[in-house]
Structure 1
Amino acid sequence: MTLVVGLGCQRGCDVHALLALFDGALADAGIERQRIVALATIDRKQDEPGLRALAALLNLPLECLSVAQLAPYAEHLSHRSAVAFTHTGCYGVAESAALALAGQLAGSPARLLITRRKSAQATFALACAGDKPDNRPLRS
Protein backbone atom coordinates (compact mmCIF):
# COMPACT_ATOMS: atom_id res chain seq x y z
CA MET A 1 0.00 0.00 0.00
CA THR A 2 1.28 3.45 -0.93
CA LEU A 3 0.93 6.06 1.84
CA VAL A 4 1.42 9.72 0.95
CA VAL A 5 1.16 12.77 3.19
CA GLY A 6 -0.25 15.93 1.65
CA LEU A 7 0.73 19.25 3.20
CA GLY A 8 -0.34 22.84 2.86
CA CYS A 9 1.11 25.74 4.80
CA GLN A 10 1.33 29.47 5.20
CA ARG A 11 4.40 31.22 3.84
CA GLY A 12 7.29 30.95 6.28
CA CYS A 13 5.83 28.02 8.22
CA ASP A 14 8.53 26.59 10.47
CA VAL A 15 9.75 23.01 10.00
CA HIS A 16 9.05 22.32 13.68
CA ALA A 17 5.39 23.30 13.27
CA LEU A 18 5.13 21.00 10.25
CA LEU A 19 6.86 18.13 12.05
CA ALA A 20 4.58 18.49 15.07
CA LEU A 21 1.50 18.30 12.84
CA PHE A 22 2.96 15.37 10.86
CA ASP A 23 3.96 13.33 13.91
CA GLY A 24 0.81 14.19 15.87
CA ALA A 25 -1.55 13.12 13.08
CA LEU A 26 0.31 9.85 12.50
CA ALA A 27 0.51 9.09 16.23
CA ASP A 28 -3.21 9.73 16.68
CA ALA A 29 -3.94 7.27 13.87
CA GLY A 30 -1.36 4.75 15.08
CA ILE A 31 0.55 4.84 11.80
CA GLU A 32 4.31 4.47 11.83
CA ARG A 33 6.35 7.28 10.27
CA GLN A 34 8.41 4.88 8.15
CA ARG A 35 5.27 3.74 6.28
CA ILE A 36 5.09 7.10 4.47
CA VAL A 37 6.67 7.03 1.00
CA ALA A 38 6.39 10.69 -0.05
CA LEU A 39 5.19 14.17 0.78
CA ALA A 40 3.03 16.17 -1.62
CA THR A 41 2.00 19.81 -1.92
CA ILE A 42 1.00 22.39 -4.50
CA ASP A 43 3.70 23.61 -6.91
CA ARG A 44 3.51 27.19 -5.64
CA LYS A 45 5.05 25.88 -2.38
CA GLN A 46 8.03 24.21 -4.09
CA ASP A 47 10.50 26.70 -2.60
CA GLU A 48 8.94 26.83 0.86
CA PRO A 49 11.87 26.35 3.30
CA GLY A 50 9.82 24.57 5.99
CA LEU A 51 8.48 21.98 3.55
CA ARG A 52 11.93 21.41 2.05
CA ALA A 53 13.43 21.05 5.53
CA LEU A 54 10.72 18.57 6.57
CA ALA A 55 11.34 16.43 3.49
CA ALA A 56 15.08 16.44 4.19
CA LEU A 57 14.58 15.65 7.88
CA LEU A 58 12.28 12.72 7.08
CA ASN A 59 14.38 11.64 4.07
CA LEU A 60 11.27 11.68 1.86
CA PRO A 61 10.70 13.10 -1.62
CA LEU A 62 8.57 16.25 -1.78
CA GLU A 63 6.46 16.25 -4.93
CA CYS A 64 4.95 19.56 -5.99
CA LEU A 65 1.79 19.26 -8.07
CA SER A 66 0.00 21.79 -10.27
CA VAL A 67 -3.52 23.10 -9.72
CA ALA A 68 -4.53 21.11 -12.82
CA GLN A 69 -3.30 17.92 -11.10
CA LEU A 70 -5.11 18.77 -7.83
CA ALA A 71 -8.42 20.15 -9.14
CA PRO A 72 -9.94 16.77 -10.14
CA TYR A 73 -9.96 15.71 -6.48
CA ALA A 74 -12.27 18.51 -5.29
CA GLU A 75 -15.26 16.18 -5.05
CA HIS A 76 -13.29 13.79 -2.79
CA LEU A 77 -12.32 16.36 -0.17
CA SER A 78 -13.65 16.20 3.38
CA HIS A 79 -13.62 20.01 3.53
CA ARG A 80 -13.79 22.51 0.68
CA SER A 81 -12.13 25.78 1.62
CA ALA A 82 -13.09 28.94 -0.22
CA VAL A 83 -10.04 30.61 1.33
CA ALA A 84 -7.73 27.92 -0.09
CA PHE A 85 -9.41 28.29 -3.47
CA THR A 86 -8.88 32.06 -3.44
CA HIS A 87 -5.17 31.68 -2.64
CA THR A 88 -4.31 28.56 -4.65
CA GLY A 89 -7.00 27.76 -7.18
CA CYS A 90 -7.94 24.49 -5.47
CA TYR A 91 -10.32 23.78 -2.60
CA GLY A 92 -7.86 21.88 -0.44
CA VAL A 93 -4.13 21.50 -0.90
CA ALA A 94 -3.28 18.79 1.65
CA GLU A 95 -6.05 16.33 0.79
CA SER A 96 -5.86 16.93 -2.97
CA ALA A 97 -2.08 16.56 -3.04
CA ALA A 98 -2.13 13.38 -0.96
CA LEU A 99 -4.84 11.80 -3.14
CA ALA A 100 -3.20 12.84 -6.41
CA LEU A 101 0.29 11.59 -5.59
CA ALA A 102 -0.80 8.36 -3.88
CA GLY A 103 -2.90 7.47 -6.91
CA GLN A 104 -0.12 8.40 -9.30
CA LEU A 105 2.53 6.36 -7.46
CA ALA A 106 0.32 3.28 -7.00
CA GLY A 107 -1.34 3.48 -10.40
CA SER A 108 -4.74 3.05 -8.77
CA PRO A 109 -7.40 5.24 -7.13
CA ALA A 110 -6.49 6.67 -3.74
CA ARG A 111 -8.58 7.28 -0.64
CA LEU A 112 -8.05 9.40 2.45
CA LEU A 113 -6.90 7.56 5.58
CA ILE A 114 -6.57 10.77 7.59
CA THR A 115 -8.73 13.67 6.50
CA ARG A 116 -7.58 17.26 6.80
CA ARG A 117 -5.87 18.09 10.08
CA LYS A 118 -5.16 21.74 10.68
CA SER A 119 -2.76 23.65 12.88
CA ALA A 120 -2.34 27.41 13.11
CA GLN A 121 0.02 27.43 10.10
CA ALA A 122 -0.45 24.20 8.17
CA THR A 123 -2.73 21.42 6.98
CA PHE A 124 -2.05 17.68 6.80
CA ALA A 125 -3.81 14.74 5.12
CA LEU A 126 -2.85 11.12 4.51
CA ALA A 127 -3.95 9.13 1.47
CA CYS A 128 -3.39 5.52 0.51
CA ALA A 129 -3.61 3.65 -2.76
CA GLY A 130 -2.89 0.18 -4.02
CA ASP A 131 -3.21 -3.18 -2.40
CA LYS A 132 -1.57 -3.86 0.90
CA PRO A 133 1.53 -5.84 -0.17
CA ASP A 134 2.18 -7.48 3.18
CA ASN A 135 0.53 -8.27 6.48
CA ARG A 136 2.23 -5.51 8.46
CA PRO A 137 -0.36 -3.47 10.31
CA LEU A 138 -0.63 0.26 9.66
CA ARG A 139 -0.90 0.75 13.37
CA SER A 140 2.05 0.11 15.62
Structure 2
Amino acid sequence: TDPAVVVVDERGRFAVSLLSGHLGGGNELARRVAAILGGRAVITTASDVLGLVSLDLWARSQDLVPRDEKTMTRASALLVNKGSLCLYSEVPAASLPKGLVAVDRPEEADLVISSRADWPANTLVFHPRELVVGVGCNRGTPVREFAAALDEVLAARSLSPLAVRNLASLDLKRDEKGLREFAAIHGWEVVFYTKEELNRVAGITVSPAALKATGARGVAEPAALLSARTDILLMEKKKWPNLTLALAKAKFMLSALVREACNT
Protein backbone atom coordinates (compact mmCIF):
# COMPACT_ATOMS: atom_id res chain seq x y z
CA THR A 1 0.00 0.00 0.00
CA ASP A 2 1.32 3.43 -0.93
CA PRO A 3 1.69 5.93 1.91
CA ALA A 4 -1.03 8.52 2.28
CA VAL A 5 -0.34 12.00 0.89
CA VAL A 6 -2.46 14.98 1.95
CA VAL A 7 -1.85 18.48 0.54
CA VAL A 8 -2.91 21.61 2.43
CA ASP A 9 -3.10 25.13 0.96
CA GLU A 10 -1.20 27.97 2.62
CA ARG A 11 -4.25 29.28 4.46
CA GLY A 12 -5.32 25.86 5.69
CA ARG A 13 -8.70 26.07 4.00
CA PHE A 14 -8.47 22.77 2.14
CA ALA A 15 -6.88 19.43 2.99
CA VAL A 16 -6.75 17.38 -0.21
CA SER A 17 -6.38 13.61 -0.08
CA LEU A 18 -3.95 13.14 -2.96
CA LEU A 19 -2.71 9.55 -2.71
CA SER A 20 -3.81 6.26 -1.12
CA GLY A 21 -7.14 7.57 0.10
CA HIS A 22 -8.57 4.25 1.26
CA LEU A 23 -6.11 1.62 2.51
CA GLY A 24 -3.34 4.17 3.04
CA GLY A 25 -5.67 6.31 5.17
CA GLY A 26 -5.40 9.47 3.07
CA ASN A 27 -9.11 10.30 3.21
CA GLU A 28 -9.34 9.95 6.97
CA LEU A 29 -6.12 11.90 7.43
CA ALA A 30 -7.49 14.71 5.27
CA ARG A 31 -10.61 14.82 7.44
CA ARG A 32 -8.53 14.99 10.63
CA VAL A 33 -6.25 17.72 9.28
CA ALA A 34 -9.25 19.75 8.08
CA ALA A 35 -10.91 19.43 11.48
CA ILE A 36 -7.76 20.65 13.26
CA LEU A 37 -7.29 23.61 10.90
CA GLY A 38 -10.95 24.51 10.67
CA GLY A 39 -10.84 23.86 6.95
CA ARG A 40 -12.49 21.47 4.53
CA ALA A 41 -11.44 17.99 3.49
CA VAL A 42 -11.39 17.38 -0.27
CA ILE A 43 -12.09 13.73 -1.08
CA THR A 44 -12.08 12.68 -4.73
CA THR A 45 -12.02 8.88 -4.70
CA ALA A 46 -14.87 7.69 -6.93
CA SER A 47 -16.73 5.51 -4.43
CA ASP A 48 -16.77 8.32 -1.85
CA VAL A 49 -17.98 10.88 -4.38
CA LEU A 50 -20.80 8.54 -5.42
CA GLY A 51 -21.71 7.65 -1.83
CA LEU A 52 -20.80 3.97 -2.26
CA VAL A 53 -18.86 1.69 0.07
CA SER A 54 -15.07 1.77 -0.19
CA LEU A 55 -14.74 -1.87 -1.17
CA ASP A 56 -11.09 -2.21 -0.13
CA LEU A 57 -11.73 -0.78 3.34
CA TRP A 58 -14.85 -2.89 3.78
CA ALA A 59 -13.01 -6.07 2.78
CA ARG A 60 -10.20 -5.34 5.22
CA SER A 61 -12.67 -4.51 7.99
CA GLN A 62 -14.44 -7.84 7.37
CA ASP A 63 -11.22 -9.91 7.15
CA LEU A 64 -11.79 -10.73 3.49
CA VAL A 65 -8.90 -11.37 1.10
CA PRO A 66 -9.13 -10.95 -2.70
CA ARG A 67 -8.21 -14.11 -4.62
CA ASP A 68 -5.50 -12.20 -6.56
CA GLU A 69 -4.06 -8.72 -7.09
CA LYS A 70 -6.49 -7.76 -9.87
CA THR A 71 -9.70 -8.78 -8.11
CA MET A 72 -9.99 -5.71 -5.87
CA THR A 73 -9.30 -3.32 -8.73
CA ARG A 74 -11.83 -5.04 -11.00
CA ALA A 75 -14.50 -5.25 -8.29
CA SER A 76 -14.06 -1.61 -7.24
CA ALA A 77 -14.27 -0.40 -10.86
CA LEU A 78 -17.39 -2.50 -11.46
CA LEU A 79 -19.04 -1.06 -8.34
CA VAL A 80 -18.38 2.50 -9.47
CA ASN A 81 -19.55 1.81 -13.03
CA LYS A 82 -22.73 -0.09 -12.08
CA GLY A 83 -23.58 1.72 -8.85
CA SER A 84 -24.04 -1.61 -7.04
CA LEU A 85 -22.74 -5.18 -6.96
CA CYS A 86 -24.74 -8.38 -6.59
CA LEU A 87 -23.09 -10.39 -3.83
CA TYR A 88 -23.27 -14.15 -3.28
CA SER A 89 -21.80 -15.19 0.05
CA GLU A 90 -21.18 -18.62 1.56
CA VAL A 91 -20.88 -17.00 5.00
CA PRO A 92 -23.88 -15.32 6.67
CA ALA A 93 -24.37 -11.55 6.62
CA ALA A 94 -26.01 -9.54 9.39
CA SER A 95 -26.00 -6.49 7.13
CA LEU A 96 -24.30 -5.16 4.00
CA PRO A 97 -23.00 -1.69 3.15
CA LYS A 98 -24.47 0.58 0.51
CA GLY A 99 -23.73 -0.71 -2.96
CA LEU A 100 -23.76 -4.44 -2.14
CA VAL A 101 -26.95 -6.42 -2.77
CA ALA A 102 -27.28 -10.06 -1.64
CA VAL A 103 -28.33 -12.70 -4.18
CA ASP A 104 -29.12 -16.38 -3.63
CA ARG A 105 -27.24 -17.93 -6.54
CA PRO A 106 -23.59 -17.52 -7.57
CA GLU A 107 -24.51 -17.23 -11.25
CA GLU A 108 -26.41 -14.03 -10.40
CA ALA A 109 -23.44 -12.50 -8.59
CA ASP A 110 -20.84 -9.91 -9.55
CA LEU A 111 -18.84 -10.77 -6.45
CA VAL A 112 -18.54 -14.05 -4.51
CA ILE A 113 -17.42 -14.56 -0.91
CA SER A 114 -16.20 -18.12 -0.38
CA SER A 115 -13.38 -20.18 1.10
CA ARG A 116 -13.33 -22.35 -1.99
CA ALA A 117 -10.59 -22.08 -4.58
CA ASP A 118 -12.35 -23.79 -7.50
CA TRP A 119 -14.30 -20.83 -8.90
CA PRO A 120 -13.89 -20.04 -12.62
CA ALA A 121 -10.89 -17.82 -13.35
CA ASN A 122 -13.00 -14.78 -14.26
CA THR A 123 -15.07 -14.88 -11.04
CA LEU A 124 -14.44 -12.04 -8.60
CA VAL A 125 -13.86 -13.81 -5.28
CA PHE A 126 -13.07 -12.59 -1.77
CA HIS A 127 -11.97 -15.30 0.66
CA PRO A 128 -13.15 -15.02 4.29
CA ARG A 129 -10.32 -15.84 6.69
CA GLU A 130 -12.29 -18.47 8.60
CA LEU A 131 -10.16 -21.64 8.52
CA VAL A 132 -8.10 -22.75 11.52
CA VAL A 133 -5.39 -25.39 11.11
CA GLY A 134 -4.51 -27.50 14.15
CA VAL A 135 -0.90 -28.71 14.05
CA GLY A 136 1.00 -31.41 15.87
CA CYS A 137 4.59 -32.09 14.86
CA ASN A 138 7.87 -33.78 15.72
CA ARG A 139 10.89 -31.75 16.70
CA GLY A 140 12.84 -30.42 13.74
CA THR A 141 10.07 -30.77 11.15
CA PRO A 142 11.14 -28.57 8.19
CA VAL A 143 9.04 -25.87 6.57
CA ARG A 144 8.67 -27.83 3.33
CA GLU A 145 6.84 -30.65 5.11
CA PHE A 146 4.33 -28.27 6.70
CA ALA A 147 3.79 -26.64 3.30
CA ALA A 148 3.34 -29.93 1.43
CA ALA A 149 0.91 -31.32 4.02
CA LEU A 150 -1.30 -28.24 4.14
CA ASP A 151 -1.29 -27.91 0.34
CA GLU A 152 -2.52 -31.50 0.15
CA VAL A 153 -5.27 -30.92 2.71
CA LEU A 154 -6.56 -27.73 1.09
CA ALA A 155 -6.35 -29.02 -2.48
CA ALA A 156 -8.33 -32.16 -1.55
CA ARG A 157 -11.17 -29.93 -0.33
CA SER A 158 -10.82 -27.19 -2.99
CA LEU A 159 -10.04 -24.63 -0.27
CA SER A 160 -7.89 -21.53 -0.71
CA PRO A 161 -4.89 -20.94 1.59
CA LEU A 162 -6.03 -17.30 1.63
CA ALA A 163 -9.00 -18.48 3.73
CA VAL A 164 -6.71 -19.68 6.54
CA ARG A 165 -6.96 -17.42 9.59
CA ASN A 166 -4.36 -18.98 11.87
CA LEU A 167 -2.57 -22.12 13.04
CA ALA A 168 -2.99 -23.67 16.50
CA SER A 169 -0.84 -26.08 18.49
CA LEU A 170 0.49 -27.18 21.87
CA ASP A 171 2.45 -24.63 23.90
CA LEU A 172 5.47 -26.95 23.94
CA LYS A 173 5.86 -26.07 20.24
CA ARG A 174 6.38 -22.34 20.81
CA ASP A 175 10.05 -22.65 19.89
CA GLU A 176 9.54 -25.01 16.95
CA LYS A 177 11.53 -23.30 14.19
CA GLY A 178 9.87 -24.94 11.20
CA LEU A 179 6.37 -24.19 12.47
CA ARG A 180 7.24 -20.59 13.25
CA GLU A 181 8.87 -20.03 9.87
CA PHE A 182 6.01 -21.66 7.99
CA ALA A 183 3.48 -19.41 9.73
CA ALA A 184 5.62 -16.30 9.15
CA ILE A 185 5.87 -16.97 5.40
CA HIS A 186 2.08 -16.73 5.15
CA GLY A 187 1.58 -14.05 7.80
CA TRP A 188 -0.39 -16.43 10.03
CA GLU A 189 -0.52 -16.23 13.80
CA VAL A 190 0.14 -19.43 15.75
CA VAL A 191 -2.11 -19.79 18.81
CA PHE A 192 -0.78 -22.11 21.52
CA TYR A 193 -2.65 -24.04 24.23
CA THR A 194 -1.53 -25.92 27.31
CA LYS A 195 -2.06 -29.66 27.61
CA GLU A 196 -4.68 -29.00 30.28
CA GLU A 197 -6.67 -26.81 27.85
CA LEU A 198 -6.39 -29.37 25.07
CA ASN A 199 -7.41 -32.23 27.36
CA ARG A 200 -10.68 -30.50 28.24
CA VAL A 201 -11.89 -30.75 24.63
CA ALA A 202 -14.34 -33.62 24.20
CA GLY A 203 -14.96 -35.85 21.21
CA ILE A 204 -11.44 -35.92 19.77
CA THR A 205 -9.37 -38.85 18.52
CA VAL A 206 -6.97 -39.80 21.33
CA SER A 207 -3.32 -40.10 20.28
CA PRO A 208 -1.31 -42.49 22.51
CA ALA A 209 1.92 -41.08 21.05
CA ALA A 210 0.99 -37.48 21.88
CA LEU A 211 -0.23 -38.49 25.34
CA LYS A 212 3.06 -40.24 26.11
CA ALA A 213 5.28 -37.46 24.72
CA THR A 214 3.41 -34.35 25.88
CA GLY A 215 0.65 -35.35 28.31
CA ALA A 216 -1.97 -34.12 25.82
CA ARG A 217 -4.61 -36.60 24.62
CA GLY A 218 -4.36 -34.98 21.21
CA VAL A 219 -2.97 -31.81 19.67
CA ALA A 220 -4.16 -31.03 16.14
CA GLU A 221 -7.88 -31.67 16.66
CA PRO A 222 -8.41 -29.98 20.06
CA ALA A 223 -6.16 -27.04 19.11
CA ALA A 224 -8.17 -26.41 15.94
CA LEU A 225 -11.48 -26.65 17.81
CA LEU A 226 -10.38 -24.35 20.62
CA SER A 227 -9.01 -21.69 18.31
CA ALA A 228 -12.04 -21.77 16.00
CA ARG A 229 -14.39 -21.79 19.01
CA THR A 230 -16.44 -24.60 17.57
CA ASP A 231 -17.11 -28.26 18.35
CA ILE A 232 -17.20 -29.45 14.73
CA LEU A 233 -14.14 -30.38 12.72
CA LEU A 234 -14.03 -29.65 9.02
CA MET A 235 -11.36 -32.37 8.76
CA GLU A 236 -10.37 -34.87 11.42
CA LYS A 237 -6.65 -35.26 12.00
CA LYS A 238 -4.55 -36.51 9.12
CA LYS A 239 -1.07 -37.90 9.75
CA TRP A 240 2.22 -37.64 7.90
CA PRO A 241 5.59 -39.02 9.10
CA ASN A 242 6.48 -35.87 11.07
CA LEU A 243 3.25 -33.98 11.56
CA THR A 244 -0.50 -34.11 12.03
CA LEU A 245 -3.07 -31.59 10.79
CA ALA A 246 -6.74 -31.02 11.55
CA LEU A 247 -9.06 -28.36 10.15
CA ALA A 248 -11.88 -26.35 11.70
CA LYS A 249 -14.01 -23.46 10.50
CA ALA A 250 -14.50 -20.46 12.78
CA LYS A 251 -17.82 -18.65 12.95
CA PHE A 252 -17.88 -15.80 10.45
CA MET A 253 -20.47 -13.06 10.02
CA LEU A 254 -20.42 -10.21 7.50
CA SER A 255 -21.68 -6.76 8.41
CA ALA A 256 -21.83 -3.27 6.92
CA LEU A 257 -19.03 -2.09 9.22
CA VAL A 258 -16.20 -0.18 7.52
CA ARG A 259 -13.23 0.92 9.60
CA GLU A 260 -11.42 3.95 8.25
CA ALA A 261 -7.66 3.66 7.90
CA CYS A 262 -5.33 6.38 9.10
CA ASN A 263 -1.69 5.28 9.23
CA THR A 264 -0.28 8.11 11.31
CA contact (8 A) 1:111 1:129 kept: no
Q: 1:76 aligns with which of 203, 226, 229?
A: 203
Q: 1:124 aligns with which of 242, 245, 259?
A: 245
- Higher helix proportion: 1
Q: Report how far residue 3 of structure 1 moved.
A: 1.7
CA contact (8 A) 1:110 1:129 kept: no
Q: Which has the larger radius of gyration?
A: 2
- TM-score, normalised relative to structure 2: 0.46
CA contact (8 A) 1:114 1:125 kept: yes
Q: Which residue of 1 aligns with 2:219?
A: 93
Matched, 1:43 2:171: yes
Separation of aligned partners in 2, 1:76 and 1:37: 23
RMSD: 1.6
Q: 2:147 aligns with which of 19, 26, 46?
A: 19
SS at match of 1:53: helix
Q: Which residue of 2 aligns with 1:106?
A: none
Q: Which residue of 2 aligns with 1:137?
A: none
Say which structure, 1 or 2, has more relative contact order (CA 8 Å, 6+ apart). Answer: 1
CA contact (8 A) 1:110 1:130 kept: no
The residue correspondences of 1:24-35 to structure 2 (distance < 5 A) are 24-35=152-163
Q: Report how far residue 123 of structure 1 moved.
A: 0.4
Separation of aligned partners in 2, 1:118 and 1:44: 19
Separation of aligned partners in 1, 2:181 and 2:252: 30
Cα gap change, 1:57 to 1:70, in 2 (>3 Å): same
Separation of aligned partners in 2, 1:53 and 1:67: 23
Q: Give unmatched runs, 5+ long, in structure 2.
A: 1-90, 92-129, 256-264
Q: Report how far residue 133 of structure 1 moved.
A: 3.9
Q: Report how far residue 69 of structure 1 moved.
A: 1.6
Separation of aligned partners in 2, 1:67 and 1:121: 20
Amino acid at match of 2:222: S
How high is the sequence identity, in percent, across the aligned residues? 35
CA contact (8 A) 1:5 1:125 kept: yes
Q: Give unmatched runs, 5+ long, in structure 1.
A: 104-108, 135-140
More off after superposition, 92-101 vs 123-132: 123-132
- TM-score, normalised relative to structure 1: 0.84
Separation of aligned partners in 2, 1:12 and 1:131: 34
Separation of aligned partners in 1, 2:136 and 2:239: 9
Residue by residue over 1:11-67, the C-alpha shift from the partner in whole angstroms, topping out at 9 and shown as x without a partner, is 000110011001110111111101110001100000000100110111100111111
